[in-house]
């Protein structure tokens, strides 16, 4: 029960890594709220899995790019679940597209969901954390934002921005007892891997020390440890979980 008593908000928590984290965190004793943008079926499936396992989760349909909606959502979470003391900025989107064929809208969407979404959600939760002088924030970056790998330029740029966001925010709000870290997964069994060519996946596995892609469940277990009281002095760090690239 690493997370007993914690109230966690996971953005983009209906499927993939987000869904795996919701399940892992509730299994470790946390009360979890998560948002999703559109797929009701995925959200209900995640809620059902948590309920079957005896955990507690609530789902809220709201885009991370909707500032007013996020603030309203956080107020609802405070009323229905409790004050958020832990935030996981996980919401993201993938798109395999070369820069030469990229439209401005493609670039803006990637930045809005990954970077602006983390900014808006953090801002919506931060006042309560500062008030209580405690809190934990985990941003989901990517190997593509830390190392030079074959991945779409706008995706790599957005994930690299989250690393900078993590470091600067950790420096700014550490005085309030709030820690900010990031996790940077490599290629996983769900999410970005759904859209990449088979040759890219094979290339990743050939260059990975473990010889395989990771699973969302594996990264979710690491995230649970990073958020727990067993990890109290790490701040501003980005932890790779890539199998050894």
Look up residue 225 and give its two tokens.
């440890």
Give the CA radius of gyration of the chain: 17
Residue 56's φ and ψ, nearest 5 degrees, are -125, 120
3-class state of residue 59 by DSSP = strand
Provide the 8-state DSSP code for 244.
Answer: -
Residue 190's φ and ψ, nearest 5 degrees, are -135, 165
Three-point CA angle 182, 184, 190, nearest 5°: 125
User: What whole-number distance in Å separates Cα of residue 32 and Cα of residue 224?
Assistant: 12
Three-point CA angle 2, 138, 182, nearest 5°: 115
- Nearest Cα to Cα of residue 179 among 188, 170, 187: 170
Give the active site residues: 155
């Amino acid at each position: 029960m690493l997370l007993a008593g914690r109230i966690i908000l996971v953005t983009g928590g209906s499927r993939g890594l987000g869904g795996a984290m919701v399940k892992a965190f509730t299994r470790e004793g946390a009360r979890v709220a998560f948002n999703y943008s559109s797929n009701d079926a995925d959200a209900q499936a995640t809620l059902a899995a948590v309920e079957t396992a005896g955990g507690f989760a609530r789902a809220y349909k709201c885009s991370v790019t909707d500032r007013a909606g996020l603030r309203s959502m956080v107020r609802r979470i405070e009323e229905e679940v409790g004050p958020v003391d832990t935030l996981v900025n996980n919401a993201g989107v993938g798109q395999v597209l070369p820069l030469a064929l990229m439209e401005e809208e493609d670039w803006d969407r990637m930045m809005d969901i990954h970077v602006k979404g983390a900014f808006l959600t953090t801002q919506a939760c931060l006042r309560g954390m500062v008030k209580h002088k405690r809190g934990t924030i985990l941003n989901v970056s990517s190997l593509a934002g830390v190392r030079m790998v074959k991945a779409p330029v706008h995706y790599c740029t957005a994930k690299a921005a989250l690393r900078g966001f993590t470091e600067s925010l950790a420096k700014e709000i550490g005085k309030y007892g709030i820690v900010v870290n990031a996790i940077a997964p490599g290629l996983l069994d769900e999410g970005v891997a759904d859209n990449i060519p088979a040759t890219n996946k094979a290339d990743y596995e050939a260059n990975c020390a473990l010889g395989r892609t990771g699973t969302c469940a594996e990264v979710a277990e690491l995230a649970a440890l990073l958020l727990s009281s067993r990890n109290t002095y790490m701040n501003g760090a980005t932890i790779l979980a890539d199998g050894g690239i």
